[in-house]
Amino acid sequence: MAGLLSRERTVAGPGFNRWLIPPCALATHLCIGQAYALSVFNLPLTRQLGVAKSIAGDWRLTDLGWIFTIAIFVLGASAALFGKWVQAVGPRKSGFTAALCWGVGFLIGALGIRSHQLWLVYLGYGVIGGCGLGIGYITPVSTLISWFPDRRGMSTGMAIMGFGGGALIASPLSDFLMRHFASPTSTGVVQTWVVLGIVYLVFMMGGAFGYRVPPESWRPAGWVPPPEKAKVLITQHNVTPGDAIRTPQFWLLWVVLCFNVTAGIGVLGQASAMIQEVFKDRITPSAAAGFVGLLSIFNMAGRFGWASFSDKIGRKPTYMVFFALGTALYALVPLTGKVGSVALFVACFCIILSMYGGGFATIPAYLADVFGTKYVSAVHGRLLTAWSAAGVLGPVLVNYIRQFQIDHGIPKNQAYNITMYIMAVLLVIAFFANLAVKPVADRYHEHAAPVGGPGDRRVPA
> What is the smallest separation between the CB atom of 211 and another protein, expressed in angstroms?
12
C-beta closer to another protein: residue 62 or 286: 286
Task: Look at residues 312, 310, 352 and name the one whose alpha carbon lies nearest to residue 333.
Answer: 352
Segments in 90-232 forming alpha helices (H):
91-114, 118-121, 129-147, 152-181, 189-210
| Phi, psi torsion values for 451, nearest 5 degrees | -60, 125
Q: Which DSSP category does 441 fall into?
A: P
- Contact region with another protein (CB under 8 A), list: 125-133, 219-227, 373-381, 417-425: 219-227
Using CB under 8 A as the binding rule, the residues of this chain from 441 to 460 that contact another protein are: 460
User: By rule CB under 8 A, what string of x and - marks binding of each residue 50-89 to another protein?
Assistant: ----------------------------------------
Locate all alpha helices (DSSP H) within 408-456, ordered by sequence. 417-435
Q: Is 286 exposed, middle or buried (0-12, 13-18, 19+ CB in 10 A)?
A: exposed
Q: Measured from the CB of residue 294, what is the shortest distance to another protein in angstroms?
A: 4
Q: How far is the CB of 383 from another protein (least distance, A)?
A: 26
For 219-254, b/e burial (b = at least 16 CB within 10 A) is beeeeebeeeeeeebbbbbbbbbebbbebebbebbb
CB neighbour list of residue 442: distance below 8 Å, 6 or more residues apart: none
Size of the site for another protein (CB under 8 A): 47
- Buried b or exposed e, range 1-33, using 16+ CB within 10 angstroms: eeeebeeeebebeeeeebeebbebbbbbbbbbb
Nearer to another protein, 95 or 214 (CB): 214
Give, as ranges, the residues between 168 and 207 that touch another protein (CB under 8 A). 168-173, 206
Instruction: State the minimum distance, in angstroms, from the CB of residue 406 to another protein.
Output: 25
Candidates 210-218, 370-378, 381-389, 424-432: pick the segment binding another protein (CB under 8 A). 210-218
| Cβ proximity to another protein, 65 vs 293, nearer residue | 293
The minimum distance between CB 33 and another protein, in angstroms, equals 10
Nearest approach, Cβ of residue 446 and another protein (Å): 23
Rounded Cα distance, 30 and 36, in Å: 11
Residue 11 near another protein by CB under 8 A: no
Q: Which is nearer to another protein, 206 or 439 (CB)?
A: 206
**302 sits near another protein (criterion: CB under 8 A):** no
Near another protein by CB under 8 A: residue from 210, 269, 357, 358? 210
- Nearest distance in Å: CB 341, another protein: 14
CB of 133 or CB of 288, closer to another protein: 288
Smallest distance, another protein to C-beta of residue 173, A: 8
Cβ at position 220, least distance to another protein in Å: 5
Residue list 12-41, contact with another protein (CB under 8 A):
12, 14-20, 23-24, 26-27, 30
Q: Which amino acid is at 158?
A: M
> Taking the mean position of all CA atoms in its chain, how far away is CA 451?
29
In DSSP notation, 347-405 reads HHHHHHHHHHHHHHHHHHHHHHHHH-STTHHHHHHHHTHHHHHHHHHHHHHHHHHHHHH
Closest distance of CB 224 from another protein, Å: 10
| The binder of another protein chosen from 66, 209, 218, 421 (CB under 8 A) | 218
What does the buried/exposed string (b/e) look like for 95-129 if buried means 16 or more CB atoms within 10 Å of the residue's CB?
bbbbbbbbbbbbbbbbbbbbeeebebbbbbbbbbb
DSSP assignment letter at 331: H
Cα 437 to its chain centre, rounded Å, is 22
Question: Radius of gyration of the chain from Cα atoms?
Answer: 22
CA 388, CA 357: separation in Å to the nearest integer?
16
Residues 343-382 that bind another protein (CB under 8 A): 346
- Which of 49, 223, 328, 396 touches another protein (CB under 8 A)? 223
**What is the C-alpha separation between 212 and 91, in angstroms, rounded?**
8
Site residues (CB under 8 A) for another protein, limited to 259-298:
283-284, 286-291, 293-294, 296-297
Q: Which residues, numbered 318-347, are part of the site for another protein (CB under 8 A)?
A: 346
Site track for another protein across 135-174, x = CB under 8 A: ---------------------------x--x--xxxxxx-
The SS3 assignment for 275 reads: helix
Gap between the Cα atoms of 221 and 168, Å rounded? 36
| Interacting residues with another protein (CB under 8 A) | 12, 14-20, 23-24, 26-27, 30, 162, 165, 168-173, 206, 210, 214-215, 217-223, 283-284, 286-291, 293-294, 296-297, 300, 346, 460
